[in-house]
Structure 1
Amino acid sequence: MGGKSDNTEGSPRPNHGRAALLAAVARGARLSPSYLMLVALATAIAHVGLLMDSAPVVIGAMLISPLLGPIMAFGFGVAIFELALLRRAALALGAGMVLAVLISIVLTWLSPIQDVTPSILARVRPNLLDLLVAVFGGIAGAYATVRREAISLVGVAIATALVPPLAVVGFSIATGRMDFAWGALLLFITNATAIALMATITARVRGFGTHLSPRQSWAQTAGILATLVALAIPLGLRLAANVREARAQSAINRQLQELAGPGARIDRLDSNLAATPAQVDAVVMAPSFSDGLQDRFADRVEGVLGRNANVRLVQIRSGTPEADDARRALEGVIATERTRKEEVTRLRATLARIVDGDGSAVLVDPERRSARVFSAEALPPPTLAALQIAFPGWTLTWGEAEVQPDPAPSAAVTSSTD
């Protein structure tokens, strides 16, 4: 009876619809020049966005990336045990991964910026929550694929990061940070595997693979569960470590407040508990100084962590001109550093635009407040005047001619424009 029911459901029209869907899924996993071009462009955009710490730019790279296609095809290939589709998806995904990592390595070598930004750090320590996002995203992506809802796949592409982790892998390899590279690679593997497995489950629920034998179905189910467990164990351990670190930071904050007394206020508490030994820096505002506070606080910190720690504590008397001056100085340092970073980013982008977007031709030294542009063409005087106004105090070297900072840039520009 069951076979008759399957034949009834498998009338020509549904079979035609499923065949058309599988053909569309297979096209999404095709290794072609346009596929490789999109992978290259998405990686370049993601690389720039990570260095700029710009979420919109990184999101744009996710939307351009075609890696979701072969991952979905792999999931559907597992659902129907179609070896040809599995080979095609694996080839396209492997080629895309290798190309993305290589492009990121080359861009890192060419770029004068090799600082680790918060956007990069956010992708080197995946945990169990990242697996959950990938699981839910995979279900949504498979359902959108079956329903032919392309707009939903846009959201899946944003939610399940695929290209940015590969860009971080290349950046980390180029800069010698192999611990970051392994963390980012684990994030990509987690996302890709979870999406593919959820696509397999969704495809089976939607009626794909009904011709499989009970033995094949059990083997498929066991493989999916084993893979998810294998991913969940290290990610769960990482999540547990993150929770322990957060609790330790909270406990350190409570210990310092207790030692400083009710009239004191913790102005700043920075910690790097992943370092060996752990690093803890604190600034306390209090009505009076407490002798030996740093040593007592260091003992408490080591007691909380159960290991050695480097502790630096600064005490500032509150309600005094010195305290106000110290606070204003600290705020000024923070504001100056933020302004300096913004100015450097703006200068680098401006000079790159002048040389037709060739960022490799621009070298900026923030410490010496100097920048060099490797270009055979001379700098036009109006452009020089505009740069002197926009970036006073900077020394710009353009080819062989050196542009010194103008003590009165507005006057120089006036004479140039006149």
Structure 2
Amino acid sequence: MRYLEITVPEGKRRAVLDVLEDEGFDYVVSDETSGRGKAAVVRFPVPTQAVEPLLDRLERAGIGDEASVVVINAETVVSEEFATLRERYSRGGQTGSRTSRQVLRTKADELTPPFAIYTVMLLISAVVATAGLLADSPAVVIGAMVIAPLLGPALAANVGIVTGDGRLKSTGFTYQIAGVTMVIVASVALAMLARLAGLEPAGVDIVAATELEERVAPNLFSLAVALGAGIAGILSLTRGFSEAIVGVMIAAALIPPSAAVGITVAWGMSGAAIGAAGLVVVNLLSINLAALATLWIAGYRPQGPFDVSPTRTPTYTYAAIFGIGLLILAAPLAGVTLLDFHTTELQSAAESEVNAVLAEPQYDELESDEVAVELDGDYPTQSVDRVVVTVSGREPGPEPGLADRLYKAIGPHSDGPLVVEVQYVVAEERGENATAEATIERGRRTAAAESRP
């Protein structure tokens, strides 16, 4: 329930009261004597579902921006007339109990902090996220998501679009672009300092060392987080769910990938930086498209006969921009997804073939330790480089012909040229009895045997 207080301008008193009487609202009127061009103050309780249609009708009656409207949450109203009114607007259920457009704009605006505070919080988030990625600490990265104030700007931009609020729309997009830029710049600076200080040695594959691969070579499943975040963000705003939890979800789609851009730039990995930047843009488009579509489907747009068309055109325009951009950028993600499927299939097939080959009598002394499919590291669109088979045995030397034999078995499962590399590990057991307390030494005694097409 809500409690409305409307300050009625001069000459509009009768129009306001006619609307309220026609709708059946039980109101109280007080004369306004401040001399500021106001005629009266009208106060009355109203069902939550009735706030939006009532304000729309008042606007159509000519009560526009010159009137002041205050909407207050009400705990309870004891009145038979109000119970009848609530039943009429509830329509037999709670499906219509959504936040009004007018309140929605206010809530979206409140979730967007002052720019100075927004900048400070994002810089802190960038530092924490970069440190977490460099230290390979998921807990620290999650902490960076919690403090990032990205929910408000993402929602404000799209609320502004569908309700025709240009200021809210401009603020939302400005905050989003500036925020992502700040995170990337701060991450570049921190990663450069870490590299110069020797905290992460130069020359190492920083992507493999810090588990950044999923962010520099994203696949289509990455879209699920961003699309879900956009939908959940709007539902949290309109249905009263926890904004804090949804804010973490939106930050999860933007903060770590932005920090990954900064880290890979600092390491001079242009391909990986492009992959991470692509994920940032895709997630931004996905969040905004999902939020915009959810708002429009839920009916958050001006309902008056003269307001729908001006708002519909910008909404469709932005939706088309988001959608087309997303489709274009999703193509590389689809390629990465197909590569992931192919790599998984090749891994499974290679393990089966290796076990079958080593089961042959001439290889009785050898056992398969590991079968790994390695990619070429050419981010963001990688390809299969080689299959590395690690076998163990008691003899220190390589087994003649084994690499060729494995290549012939594994090669047909690959779509392109393939290198099959065999690495030997010698197992030595010390002590007279092979017991559970026996000491096992494993060391790589040879390099690899390779077979190339």
What is the TM-score with the length of structure 2 in the denominator? Answer: 0.63
For residues 98-134 of structure 1, the C-alpha deviation after alignment (integer angstroms, 9 at most, x for no partner) is 2111111111121123343343222112111111222
Asked if 1:311 is matched to 2:424, the reply is: no
Asked if 1:71 is matched to 2:151, the reply is: no
State the match for 2:282 in structure 1: 190
* Change beyond 3 A, Cα 1:218–1:90: closer
- C-alpha contact 2:350 2:410 (8 A) present in aligned 1: yes
State the match for 1:167 in structure 2: 259
The percentage of counterpart residues that share the same residue type is 26
Q: How many residue pairs end up in the alignment?
A: 326
State the match for 1:55 in structure 2: 138
State the match for 2:367 in structure 1: 265
State the match for 2:122 in structure 1: 39
For residues 320-343 of structure 1, the C-alpha deviation after alignment (integer angstroms, 9 at most, x for no partner) is 989x99953359xxxxxxxxxxxx
Helix, strand or coil for the counterpart of 1:11? Answer: helix
**CA distance in 2: counterparts of 1:281 and 1:18, whole angstroms:** 60
**CA distance in 1: counterparts of 2:320 and 2:384, whole angstroms:** 43
**CA distance in 2: counterparts of 1:184 and 1:132, whole angstroms:** 16
| Runs ≥4 residues deviating over 6 A | 4-8, 317-322
Tell me the CA shift for residue 39 of structure 1.
0.4
Unaligned runs of 5+ in 2: 1-21, 24-48, 58-68, 72-99, 201-205, 378-382, 445-453
Candidates 201, 212, 217, aligned match of 2:293: 201
**CA distance in 1: counterparts of 2:399 and 2:269, whole angstroms:** 41
State the match for 1:97 in structure 2: 180
State the match for 2:41 in structure 1: none
Letter in 2 for 1:271: V
State the match for 1:397 in structure 2: none
**CA distance in 2: counterparts of 1:49 and 1:78, whole angstroms:** 36
Letter in 2 for 1:329: R
- Report the RMSD for the aligned CA atoms in angstroms: 3.6
Residues 334-413 of structure 1 aligned to structure 2 (within 5 Å): none
- C-alpha contact 1:61 1:163 (8 A) present in aligned 2: yes
**CA distance in 2: counterparts of 1:31 and 1:330, whole angstroms:** 59
Helix, strand or coil for the counterpart of 2:406? Answer: helix
Helix, strand or coil for the counterpart of 2:370? Answer: strand
Helix, strand or coil for the counterpart of 2:253? Answer: coil
- C-alpha contact 2:406 2:420 (8 A) present in aligned 1: no
**CA distance in 2: counterparts of 1:29 and 1:23, whole angstroms:** 10
* Change beyond 3 A, Cα 1:164–1:216: closer
- C-alpha contact 2:101 2:301 (8 A) present in aligned 1: no
Candidates 382, 406, 414, aligned match of 1:297: 406
- C-alpha contact 2:292 2:319 (8 A) present in aligned 1: no
- C-alpha contact 2:391 2:424 (8 A) present in aligned 1: yes
Letter in 1 for 2:118: Y
Candidates 5, 12, 15, aligned match of 2:55: 12
Helix, strand or coil for the counterpart of 1:314? Answer: strand
**CA distance in 2: counterparts of 1:238 and 1:212, whole angstroms:** 41
**CA distance in 2: counterparts of 1:318 and 1:245, whole angstroms:** 33
Letter in 2 for 1:90: F
Helix, strand or coil for the counterpart of 1:272? Answer: strand
- C-alpha contact 2:220 2:334 (8 A) present in aligned 1: yes
Tell me the CA shift for residue 277 of structure 1.
7.8
Letter in 1 for 2:283: N
Tell me the CA shift for residue 315 of structure 1.
6.0
Tell me the CA shift for residue 49 of structure 1.
0.8
- Higher relative strand content: 2
* Change beyond 3 A, Cα 1:146–1:74: same
206-215 or 92-101: which moved more?
Answer: 206-215
Helix, strand or coil for the counterpart of 1:291? Answer: coil
Unaligned runs of 5+ in 1: 332-418
State the match for 1:335 in structure 2: none
Letter in 1 for 2:192: W
Letter in 2 for 1:126: P
For residues 386-416 of structure 1, the C-alpha deviation after alignment (integer angstroms, 9 at most, x for no partner) is xxxxxxxxxxxxxxxxxxxxxxxxxxxxxxx
Tell me the CA shift for residue 247 of structure 1.
1.2
- C-alpha contact 1:39 1:100 (8 A) present in aligned 2: yes
Helix, strand or coil for the counterpart of 1:278? Answer: strand
* Change beyond 3 A, Cα 1:208–1:172: same
Candidates 240, 248, 269, aligned match of 1:157: 248
Helix, strand or coil for the counterpart of 2:421? Answer: strand
**CA distance in 2: counterparts of 1:157 and 1:35, whole angstroms:** 15
197-206 or 136-145: which moved more?
Answer: 197-206
State the match for 1:85 in structure 2: 168
State the match for 1:371 in structure 2: none
Asked if 1:108 is matched to 2:191, the reply is: yes
For residues 197-236 of structure 1, the C-alpha deviation after alignment (integer angstroms, 9 at most, x for no partner) is 1111222233222333265565455445434433433322
**CA distance in 1: counterparts of 2:313 and 2:256, whole angstroms:** 39
- C-alpha contact 2:429 2:440 (8 A) present in aligned 1: no
- C-alpha contact 2:107 2:237 (8 A) present in aligned 1: no
State the match for 2:354 in structure 1: 256
* Change beyond 3 A, Cα 1:273–1:252: farther
- C-alpha contact 1:31 1:91 (8 A) present in aligned 2: no
- C-alpha contact 1:301 1:309 (8 A) present in aligned 2: no
- C-alpha contact 1:30 1:92 (8 A) present in aligned 2: no
